[in-house]
Amino acid sequence: MRLSLVLVAVCLSVADAFVRGEVRRSACTFDELQTQRCSTALFAAKASKSKKGAKMASKKAPAVAEKPDTFKKADFVAAVSERTGMTKKESEVAIQAVFDTVMEEVGAGKRVNLVGFGTFTLKDRSARKGRNPQTGEEIDIPASKAPGFTVAKAWKDILNGKA
């Protein structure tokens, strides 16, 4: 029963952090965005020496979103502790038990469905051909397994202001 309460508190803490913008899903990291912005500015500066380049140089570099605050495990433990009335040590043990259970069950090939939060699954990646970017040499990428997560519709509705 106590583990159920912790699981609910964990889900609510993650959802709250996501809604507040402390945690977000992004296509690339902040460093990658900075690199893209710098390379665009460098390209525009080099291109400004020609007529066509002058037009390109007048265009602004793409806007870069600010890096959101990170909701770390210690913050997570503190939030669960506050919501459940457990000590931080008990909360940390309970959270780790939830994480371990999810990892074990998904690793065994089961789907872990947390209603209102999402579903954890194990995805199979097939073997494929790739290229070494430095040499252009073709390489074999072996088959592998990876965890997957699908957000529940209820959570998506909350994030989009539909609930």
Residue 142 domain-assigned (yes or no): yes
pLDDT digits (tens, 9 = 90+) for 11-28: 556 556 555 555 544 444
Q: If you ran DSSP here, which 8-state letter would residue 160 be given? A: T
Can you give the pLDDT at residue 64?
A: 72
Pair 69, 22: CB distance under 8 Å: yes
Residue 105 domain-assigned (yes or no): yes
Q: Higher confidence at residue 91 or residue 59?
A: 91
Residue 99 domain-assigned (yes or no): yes
User: Residue 80: which domain range?
Assistant: 2-24+68-159
pLDDT of residue 101 exceeding 50: yes
Instruction: Please tell me the distance from the alpha carbon of residue 163 to that of residue 159, in angstroms, as a whole number.
Output: 8
Instruction: Please tell me the distance from the alpha carbon of residue 90 to that of residue 95, in angstroms, as a whole number.
Output: 9
Instruction: Please tell me the distance from the alpha carbon of residue 163 to that of residue 71, in angstroms, as a whole number.
Output: 24
Residue 20 domain-assigned (yes or no): yes
Pair 148, 107: CB distance under 8 Å: no
Residue 45 domain-assigned (yes or no): no
Give the Cα-Cα-Cα angle 31, 35, 38 (nearest 5 degrees): 135
Residue 58 domain-assigned (yes or no): no
Q: Where are the beta strands (DSSP E) in the chain?
A: 112-114, 118-125, 128-131, 138-141, 144-151
First-to-last C-alpha distance (Å) of the chain: 28
Can you give the pLDDT at residue 142?
A: 96
Residue 39 domain-assigned (yes or no): no
Instruction: Please tell me the distance from the alpha carbon of residue 127 to that of residue 142, in angstroms, as a whole number.
Output: 5
Q: Please count the structural domains in the chain.
A: 1
Residue 38 domain-assigned (yes or no): no
Whole-model pTM over 0.85: no
In this structure, what CATH number is given to the domain that contains residue 121? 4.10.520.10
